[in-house]
Amino acid sequence: MDLLRERHQIMVKRRRLKRMPINLQRKAIREARNLAGMQQRQPKRKKHAKSRTILDRLGTDFERAEHNAMLAASSQELRQILAEFEELADVPPDPTAAELLGQIAKAEGRATSIHVQRDGLSTLDIELHQRSPTIAQLKKAIATISCAQLKRRQREQRRGVAEDAAGRAEDSDRQQVVGSAGAEAMPRSSGELVNSALRNGHQHRALVSWRFLWRCFALFNVDTNQPIDDNVDNGRATLTALGIENGANLKFVHRVKYFGRRRQS
């Protein structure tokens, strides 16, 4: 009897639903669906949720601090190992693949050395490991090595500021306050990997778009006093074909000055 009664009620509800306007039908269907979902849904356990969140956060902070300490110890140990051997004295503690391959090729006597001068910045010493390097490979090596040197310089600046702040502090609380304030007060690096920010008089963003940079600047061969057209063969031209020999000195110049308004594709 109960089953028949339930079936009868369902049939009555369906008939009423068919007689309703379409908007009321959809509303009734949504309400029924939500009611069924609420009945099936289990209540959430909110007990001790806040304490668990705090413990998880503390655990994450501890793991992050332990990881940073391990990285610092490994970097210091690697610096000591590199300093003990004269052959590895010029290898940075965090070398890139381009730097390692270049140093290996230089030790084997098959590297192509290129010196890139920058206005107000240090000269980039590029070691290309390819047999016949192209202008595109040279530009890629310049971008990789200059960005790596910029990151190292920023890291050393942050480390120096943190050490100075910690030395001037009187207690542990004072060290944290001064250290954080010193890190924020440190001027951001200009990010100019071609020219010095002191020449332009204003700070630039730290991240550089090399695609845009190569549209504005080109390389100039100081030895032959000739600009280098890097659009030859879509960047596949070798350095020898462009008149760049081993040990050549290059520098950055504005592309508009030598190539008009033609932009690199």
Summarize the confidence of residues 223-244 as an average pLDDT.
90
Distance between CA atoms of 128 and 124, rounded to whole angstroms?
A: 12
Judged against a pLDDT cut of 60, whether residue 211 lies above it is answered with yes
- 50 or 53: which carries more pLDDT confidence? 53
**Torsion angle in degrees (nearest 10) through CA of 58, 185, 171, 61:** 10
pLDDT of residue 223: 92
Which of 116, 106, 107, 110 shows the shortest CA–CA distance to 144? 116
| Alpha helix positions (H), the chain | 2-19, 22-40, 49-84, 97-108, 135-168, 172-185, 197-200, 210-216, 255-259
| CB within 8 Å of 28: residues ≥ 6 apart | 17, 20
Whether residue 190 has pLDDT greater than 50: no
> Is 235 a residue whose pLDDT tops 90?
no
Q: How confident is the model at residue 203 (pLDDT cuts 50, 70, 90)?
A: very low
Identity at 104, one-letter amino acid code:
I
The answer to whether 89 and 83 are in contact (CB under 8 A) is: yes
Q: Does the pLDDT value for residue 86 go beyond 60?
A: yes
Give me the percent of the chain exceeding a pLDDT of 90: 23
Q: Give the model's pLDDT for residue 207.
A: 62
Which of 213, 215, 219 has the alpha carbon at shortest distance from 242? 219
Identify which has the larger pLDDT, 216 or 183.
Answer: 216
Interstrand relation of 121-128 and 248-254 (parallel, antiparallel or unpaired)? unpaired
Least confident piece of the model among 76-80, 198-202, 233-237: 198-202
- In tens, the pLDDT along 28-50 reads 788 877 777 766 665 555 555 55
Kindly tell me if the per-residue pLDDT of 79 is higher than 70.
yes
The architecture CATH gives domain 97-152+191-259: Roll (3.10)
**Mean pLDDT, rounded, of the chain:** 76
Q: In this predicted structure, what is the pLDDT of residue 186?
A: 38
Give the residue extent of every domain in the chain: 2-37, 59-89, 97-152+191-259
User: pTM for the full model?
Assistant: 0.60
What residue has token string 């390097």?
133
Question: Between 110 and 3, where is the model more confident?
Answer: 110
Which tens digits make up the pLDDT trace of 92-125?
778 888 998 998 899 899 999 999 998 888 899 9
Token pair of 15 as six digits: 């008939």
Residue-level pLDDT at 65: 81
- Is the predicted pLDDT of residue 261 greater than 50, yes or no? yes
pLDDT value, residue 54? 66
Instruction: Please give the residue that has the higher pLDDT: either 86 or 42.
Output: 86
Write down the pLDDT at residue 164: 72
pLDDT above 50 for 250: yes
- For residue 204, pLDDT over 50 is answered with no
Q: Looking only at Cα atoms, what is the longest distance across the chain?
A: 105
**Would you state the pLDDT for residue 180?**
41
